[in-house]
Structure 1
């Protein structure tokens, strides 16, 4: 029979290692949860377009921001009307108006957040390190579609507009203290 004096440290050690394991698993599990559910406006990544295009039109607004970079960042069109299920392309113009080479990474979110699981990207510059030399201009493209399943969801079926907000962050941003 195991004595109480040895059972308590063994039990506490087991709990410690369980919590340690869960802390390492938390980030990938949370990411998987967000991708599956669209939680927090997380959009989807798709390899192919749907086979169905609906007559429903949704206005997609593009909001662009820059954080800690000497960049000008704009969508070529602030709003585009898209058919649900149709593949669309939007171009973004970026210019480094500073006097040195800088690096940025774009992140995004969608509003309303319930729409995230129906906003599917086929190609995007997001989360990839971008380099712009002093005075350099670039055009970045995002290809997307709105999943036809959105018309079956009571939280999204009546939405007529959605906003995609992009922010370019300096890759040095997280190195600052």
Structure 2
């Protein structure tokens, strides 16, 4: 009986460890999905174009970049701040560099601070809409085009914002199947030449 009880405890402990590991692995994509669906955490909007209305009032947009632990890329904004008129389209660039000797795929999660301004910050085009793959030694400049919706001035909390910070965090993902297949084909071709 005592051995059966110990086995049950060991299995329960292993189950908890596996579950916690799976949750840690999935935390960044799940948080990103949660923010996009609920708007919590300053998730931004997505638009095809500006509203056409541009106000005389300006707002500063700050840019921030970070990497999930273990992500080997280098990642930074090309500018730290810009001032734009509310409603005007802005264009900023981030740079990513893969210093390793292997291809690495990444996906970016994002948020906006202050949280109340997130609903008024809209991205028209963004590198974060797609997975990014960098080959060994590759450096890439990635654009994000955006605007601050003029409706921000009608929000009792957000209208007092003097600046908005757009933050991205890149995390490593599995290589897309088409990239993996191309690498294997190239490897096979190189092997047949030797």
Aligned to 1:69: 71
Separation in 2, partners of 1:42, 1:31: 5
CA distance in structure 2 between the aligned counterparts of 1:106 and 1:137, rounded to whole angstroms: 16
Partner deviation per Cα, 1:52-90 (whole Å, 9 max, x = no partner): 111111111111011222111111101111110000110
Q: Tell me the distance in 2 between the aligned counterparts of 1:32 and 1:162.
A: 18
The answer to whether the 8 A contact 2:96-2:141 is kept is yes
Tell me, yes or no, if the aligned pair for 2:35 and 2:42 is still in contact at 8 Å: no
Judge conservation of contact 1:107–1:127 (CA < 8 Å) in 2: no
Distance 2:171 2:56 in 1: 37
Instruction: Provide the TM-score with structure 2 as the length reference.
Output: 0.68
Tell whether 2:68 aligns with 1:53: no
The Cα shift of 1:50 comes to 1.2
Q: Deviation of residue 163 (structure 1)?
A: 0.8
Residue 83 (structure 1) aligned with residue 85 (structure 2)? yes
TM-score calculated relative to the size of structure 1: 0.75
For residues 36 and 71 of structure 2, the distance between their equivalents in structure 1, rounded to whole angstroms, comes to 30
Gaps of 5+ in 1: 1-29, 173-177
Moved over 3 A (4+): 30-33
1:154 aligns with 2:156: yes
State the match for 1:110 in structure 2.
112
Task: Kindly indicate which of the two structures has a greater share of residues assigned to helix.
Answer: 2
Deviations 1:69-112 (A, max 9, x none): 21111111011111100001101111101121111001100111
| Compared CA separation, residues 112 and 32, structure 1 to 2 (3 A) | closer
Partner of 2:179: none
Map Cα deviations across residues 108-149 of structure 1 (whole Å, 9 max, x no partner).
001111111100010011142111111101111100000000
Residue 95 (str. 1) matches residue 88 (str. 2): no
SS in 1 for 2:60: strand
Match of 1:42 in 2: 43
- Which structure 2 residue ranges, 5 or more long, are not aligned? 1-33, 175-194
How many residue pairs match? The answer is 140
Counterpart for residue 133 of structure 1: 135
Whole-Å separation in 1 of the counterparts to 2:93 and 2:81: 12
Kindly tell me: are residues 127 and 80 of structure 1, through their superposed partners in 2, closer, same or farther at Cα, counting changes over 3 Å?
Answer: same
Q: What is the match of residue 5 of structure 1?
A: none
